[in-house]
Amino acid sequence: MDPDISIIFQATKHLIKQTDCHVFLESDFNRRPLPNQLEEEINNVWKIRQSKNMTLYNGTKFRVHAVFPSVDKKGVNLQLGVTCYRDFLGTNWSFRSQHLQTVGLALFGNSQACMSDPLGVGSLLLTSDQRIILLKRSQNCAEAPGLWDIPGGHAEPQELVGSVTMEKIDVESMSPAAVVKELYNSVVREIRDEVNIPEDTLLEPELMGVASNLTSAGRPSLEFFVRCSLPSSKVLQLYLQGNQSEADESTHIQCLSVNDVLKLQENNKQLWSLLAPSAKGCFILFINMVLNNVLTLNSNSSITNSIEP
């Protein structure tokens, strides 16, 4: 394991399709309020960040309250509320995040009760020639700048309710089936927008598990396995065209073989140290899936050089 991440949940019998992912939505799963002074600190942090970057947008995100196996052990249950980017910066990314966790534990018996904990999504993207895609994050990225990462981002409540504030979202009125669909669709969008791969070349995502980013106070992320019908050479070509909608989020691309990823932490400590926590969590889940025979793949041990657009 790595000190940057922990595994909250992992599939044990098979990778989890949409039909075996179950969502429970309640306003009680939203972030619990902190004492007034600490809530004011969150607002002040947001005002300061906005004054330095007027493009900041307080978008809504799904919030993870709890994750646990389904009764039949074949799927996963997610208890979700909603949160926003302002609260994410003011809690998970606060320099006082450990104190906020202590307050949550004292007031609500849960160290994450007052944390934003927006749900991220990430993908182990496998090409038809058994290569795994990594992107080097731009220095302009707010999270993990300059580190190698998997394609990923967030599921978006606005896809279901439009561009409204968190306070105007009636969590209980949202369709659980629609939310599950958005969770799985979002990772496909992120791959399309970050790597420039057409959606029709991607097979349906399958969930490997949920990882927690300990460098951002336990922020959780769904980690998916996604097959692509294109070979790595074509994926690199499409990426280098540079017309993807989120081209500014990365500066380089590289492709690793399955065997390289399986042995990365022990055989290439330098590259492992340059991975974003989200990539580490995804890779650890993937390794566990292969070692436990939940996922079987053909592979070879070669690795391509990184490529810069």
- HSE-up of residue 309 (Cα within 13 Å, Cβ side): 24
How confident is the model at residue 300, as a pLDDT?
Answer: 47
In residues, how long is the chain?
Answer: 309
Do 285 and 126 form a contact (C-beta atoms < 8 A)?
no
Q: What is the DSSP string of 114-181?
A: TS--B-EEEEEEE-TTSEEEEEEEPTT-SSSTTSEE-SEEE--THHHH-S--GGG--GGGS-HHHHHH
How confident is the model at residue 243, as a pLDDT?
Answer: 75
How confident is the model at residue 264, as a pLDDT?
Answer: 95
Q: Which fold has domain 5-304?
A: Nucleoside Triphosphate Pyrophosphohydrolase (3.90.79)
Give mean pLDDT in consecutive 10-residue pieces for the chain, a chain of 309 residues: 94 95 97 96 91 85 96 93 96 95 97 98 97 93 88 95 94 97 97 96 98 97 98 96 80 95 95 97 97 78 50
E-strand ranges in the chain read 5-10, 21-25, 60-69, 76-84, 120-126, 131-137, 148-149, 152-154, 206-213, 219-227, 250-257
pTM of this prediction? 0.94
How confident is the model at residue 232, as a pLDDT?
Answer: 97
Distant-in-sequence, close-in-space partners of 27: CB < 8 Å, separation ≥ 6: 81, 170, 171, 172
How confident is the model at residue 141, as a pLDDT?
Answer: 79
Closest residue by Cα to residue 176 from 60, 76, 78, 54: 78
Q: What is the distance between the alpha carbons of residues 149 and 158, in angstroms, rounded to a whole number?
A: 25
How confident is the model at residue 100, as a pLDDT?
Answer: 97
Q: What is the distance between the alpha carbons of residues 76 and 211, in angstroms, rounded to a whole number?
A: 14
Where in the chain are the domains?
5-304
